[in-house]
Amino acid sequence: MAKKKWQAPVKKNQILDVTITDLTYEGMGVAKIDRYPLFIQNALVGEDCQVKVVKVLKKFAFAIVLERYNDADSRVPLRDENGLRTGTMPLQHMAYPAQLAFKRQQVVNSLQKQGLLEQTEVLETIGMEEPWHYRNKAQIPIGQADGQLYTGFYRKGSHKLVPMTDYQIQLPGIDQTLQKVLAILNQYPISAYDEDAHQGLLRHLIVRQGYYTGQIMLVIVINGQNLPEEDEIVDTLKAQIPDLVSIVFNINQKNTNVILGQDQRVVYGEDAYEDRMFDLRFKISSKSFFQVNTSQAEKLYHQALTAADLKGDEVVVDAYCGIGTISLCLAQSAKEVYGVEVVSDAIDQARENAQINGLDNVTFKAGKAEEVIQDWVQAGLKPDVVVVDPPRKGLAEDFIQSVLEVQPEKIVYVSCNPATLARDLVKFVDQGYQLGKVQPVDMFPQTHHVEAVVGLTRN
Ligand code: SAH
């Protein structure tokens, strides 16, 4: 008998009534037809909606809400519909306490999947008092309409630039700076870059602002070597934006969606601005990673420091250290800190930051954490505490093995991805480490991203 070809239970453009029963980790509503899931944006658990199927795949389909028959208790009015269209604020329809609970649940789910829930407790997510206008960095594509340059964001899955001026989640100083820069650039014959045609000059504006210092860095990304009347433009920018301390022209003439090009010219100040965390000063260059939510990063680091519980005589490794933010916090209460990071620019900056803050008990090394830690271990380094803050993909297997070899008293894991966090924790727990409580921290309100900290202690 010929096997009947499997068919999805819904068709494209089909209209049907559904009840939302779950949320994906990205915060999309889930409704099931038999066992086949529909993923639906702007829909919360308990809501009954009429939806239209827009895309059908083998294991799931996407649908959009045509009509919502009832509101979940956690629903709040949209602040800006463009934040859903462009994906900048996919959770904005959820009340903030519900967002925090949702994020905690992501951590719980990941730990449960790995069988770790019995050995720990997941605390309530630490949120922001005012969960808006928090980002200290914006990378904004530029469009043009009727000859005027404008800021916006791409509609999800397209090259169509939706005009936006108040992004709701960026520091107000950043939104204001973007509009001032555009008003100035609009006085000159400057074309916006068109991704499809690979033509036009102005690609992106990147604005970073020190949350505590107010200092502003502006990076202008161009598909060319120069702007017209460049000196005049730079003078006007300086005159009209008093907090500006650095202007960088980044040259990106490639047909790519990578924002920054290799070459750049600093046309004002140096390639750095400054911000603070706790009582430490940090210089940050245009290419360096810096936590985008400064005040929440302080809360996150505070949790990491508490878990490290330093007495002053410890040797500490800070892996995936970036520009040395966590390393320097640790150095204030440890004997010695060793930081490792793969971006060598960031390591240069980490060293400069140690100097600026008068901390001489920190050693930084550029390289892959999994390789450098092996070198250190072979050279006889015996860390008492190992702090890790890896990217989303989590820890490399060799890295974990090296840590297990030296058996530090404590391991502190700062994670931006609960799934890889749980996967990695199992390996430490299996080798006799005991899990402390897991503390989620909300670094990215209105988005689905979750950050969490947990300490492990050797049994
Ligand atoms: N702890 C820092 C940075 C965390 S972001 C802070 O809080 O500011 C993660 C960092 O890991 C990034 O700086 C990234 O460049 C770095 N990284 C990514 N893969 C790495 C690897 N294999 N080895 C070392 N560092 C790596």
- CATH number of the domain to which 18 belongs: 2.40.50.140
> Which residue carries 């022209």 as its tokens?
249
Which residue type, as a one-letter code, is found at position 81?
Answer: E
Q: How many CB atoms lie within 10 A of CB 67?
A: 10
Residue 94 in any domain: the answer is no
Residues 425 and 309 in one domain: yes
Residues 303 and 398 in one domain: yes
Q: How far apart are CA 454 and CA 368, in angstroms?
A: 23
Contact, 237 vs 184, CB < 8 A? yes
Per 3-state DSSP, the chain is made up of helix, strand and coil in percentages (nearest 5) of: 25, 30, 45
Residue from 137, 283, 289 whose mutation best tests the ligand 1 pocket (most atoms within 8 A of CB): 289
User: Quick check: is 416 catalytic?
Assistant: yes
Residue 91 in any domain: the answer is no
- From 208, 445, 436, select the one nearest 308 (Cα to Cα): 436
Q: Known binder of ligand: residue 389?
A: yes
Residues 338 and 438 in one domain: yes
Residues 119 and 184 in one domain: no
Contact, 297 vs 325, CB < 8 A? yes
Residues 314 and 417 in one domain: yes
**Ligand 1 atom at shortest distance from the alpha carbon of 343:** 15
At residue 2, the pLDDT reads 62
Q: How far apart are CA 15 and CA 382, in angstroms?
A: 63
Q: How many CB atoms lie within 10 A of CB 54?
A: 14
In whole numbers, what is the pLDDT of the chain averaged over residues? 96
Contact, 21 vs 45, CB < 8 A? yes
DSSP 263: E
DSSP 430: H
Is residue 90 predicted with pLDDT exceeding 90?
Answer: yes
Residue 335 in any domain: the answer is yes
Q: How far apart are the first and last CA of the chain?
A: 60
Q: How far apart are CA 333 and CA 279, in angstroms?
A: 13
Q: Known binder of ligand: residue 405?
A: no
Q: Please tell me the distance between residue 445's alpha carbon and the centre of ligand 1 in angstroms.
A: 22
**Ligand 1 atom at shortest distance from the alpha carbon of 327:** 1
**Ligand 1 interacting residues, C-beta cut-off 6 A:** 289, 291, 320-322, 325-326, 340-343, 346, 368-369, 389, 391
Domain boundary among 220, 247, 277: 277
Residues 186 and 117 in one domain: no
Phi (first) and psi of residue 180, to 5 degrees: -65, -45
**CA dihedral sign, ordered 398, 400, 404, 410:** positive
* Model pLDDT for residues 115-167, shown as the tens digit of each residue: 999 999 999 999 999 999 999 999 999 999 999 999 999 999 888 999 999 99
Residues 244 and 117 in one domain: no
The domain that holds 319 is classified in CATH as 3.40.50.150
Residues 241 and 320 in one domain: no
Residues 50 and 156 in one domain: no
Identify the three-state secondary structure at position 24.
coil
* Model pLDDT for residues 324-350, shown as the tens digit of each residue: 999 999 999 999 999 999 999 899 999
Residue 5 in any domain: the answer is no
Q: From residue 134, how far is each of 96, 98, 100 by CA, in Å? A: 14, 19, 16
Residues 120 and 59 in one domain: no
At residue 4, the pLDDT reads 74
- From 430, 426, 331, select the one nearest 387 (Cα to Cα): 331
At residue 5, the pLDDT reads 79
DSSP 441: E
Is residue 302 predicted with pLDDT exceeding 90?
Answer: yes
Q: Known binder of ligand: residue 291?
A: yes
* Model pLDDT for residues 214-233, shown as the tens digit of each residue: 999 999 999 999 999 999 99
Domain encompassing residue 49 = 14-75
Domain boundary among 277, 312, 334: 277
- Once rounded to an integer, what is the mean pLDDT over residues 310-321? 97
**Ligand 1 atom at shortest distance from the alpha carbon of 297:** 7
Residue 240 in any domain: the answer is yes
pLDDT band at 1 (very low <50, low <70, confident <90, very high): low
> Which residue carries 């005009």 as its tokens?
163
Residue 6 in any domain: the answer is no
Domain boundary among 246, 277, 308: 277
Residue 352 in any domain: the answer is yes
Q: Please tell me the distance between residue 414's alpha carbon and the centre of ligand 1 in angstroms.
A: 11
Q: From residue 201, how far is each of 101, 147, 226 by CA, in Å? A: 44, 13, 9
Q: How far apart are CA 44 and CA 267, in angstroms?
A: 48
Q: Please tell me the distance between residue 346's alpha carbon and the centre of ligand 1 in angstroms.
A: 9
Q: Please tell me the distance between residue 183's alpha carbon and the centre of ligand 1 in angstroms.
A: 36
- From 271, 291, 267, select the one nearest 280 (Cα to Cα): 291
Is residue 3 predicted with pLDDT exceeding 90?
Answer: no
**Virtual torsion, Cα 244, 245, 246, 247, nearest 10 deg:** 30
Domain count, the chain: 3
Q: How many CB atoms lie within 10 A of CB 244?
A: 23
Residues 218 and 173 in one domain: yes
Q: How far apart are CA 109 and CA 142, in angstroms?
A: 39
Residues 193 and 319 in one domain: no
Q: Atom 10 in ligand 1: which residue has the minimum CA distance?
A: 320
**Ligand 1 atom at shortest distance from the alpha carbon of 290:** 8
Helices first, then strands: H and E counts in the chain: 10, 23
Helices (H), 92-168: 96-113
The domain that holds 271 is classified in CATH as 2.40.50.1070
Residue 282 in any domain: the answer is no
Catalytic residue among 49, 321, 329, 416: 416
